Structure 1
């Protein structure tokens, strides 16, 4: 088996055209996923909302993302309520269906990451805050949040990488991200190895950039421990 290196070089500019879609999906899903995760973490500590929050996390962590995407993309349009709701102009668009699926999935995983971070805050620290007379807001801002952030950042960085790779499923709902354009080029050239290797290289570069940025923040947040 021989590789067509010139074809790989020619395919890169076209593949990079899908980078905007990939990064847009990643950015939107990260923002909404984090908001959902924070809301879920709050709900878990609320008596009447804890059960729905646990059910949400269990469902979206326990089922494949592709199934969740198809349920949203193919299932929601079947509902008359959805088609007549103000959300229909958004939910009929593949981009927003993909963002919704990614955000809900990401939110469930990040909620677990936050939960682990909160459990990592020792009881002694809470008692010390009470002894110092710190209120709930100041305790959260100056003690709990910085510790949770340091504990969660490595796992959250891994979740960002996982979310980045999950954006490749966008091609299954007609979106032309990096993978979607790769599939189009393969259909034209019948050269899957060269094209998908080129696409994989793009994802590897993006993953490296994400890991580098996260590592930079990890070092900054833990600089006191290096002294």
Structure 2
């Protein structure tokens, strides 16, 4: 490796380190801004469960430290979610100088769509899926049972669901990138539709709690987003050598 190449490689590493530090700093800034409202944020996230609990039931904390750490753990994840646009901006600023102009024009909308779709998946989970799932779970079971969910267990459940739906809503972006890179085509994906239907339910089985209702509520939107991705992918084809 020549001295010029080595110095260029080190410069890229330094830039990558600086952008990672900026991304982490953005998460810290958002966390410090939200830390005071940690209990309110947890109450907002727990509202779909609290609304479905019987009148004589409440949430409990089985760990003595849970009332303190659970809200702050949630606030840290919320800070990460809110800082995603800035984090992706740092990533884009790092890779953009190495892209062609037509690649920048194609990837910029995809980057923006990935953020909106991720937030859309979380919103869909909170406003649509959680009330249905929690309403079902709290309505079944023996009558002599007293339902008292643990705050830490519910937080882990909610974060897993948010992540699963946020990730699943990225399917159109993934399809567009695959078609744009030439790794596959829309025609090939249409021919594999039966396998993709089965795969969607398999993926939902791993990403959601082990019940059919949760898996179906994730698999069906995944399949609809797959069809949306096929439509949008028609505008993203592999660039030819002449265009490059």
TM (normalized to structure 1)?
0.36
Quick check: which one's helix share is greater? Answer: 1
Report which structure shows greater RCO (CA 8 Å, sep ≥6).
Answer: 1
- TM value normalised by structure 2: 0.34
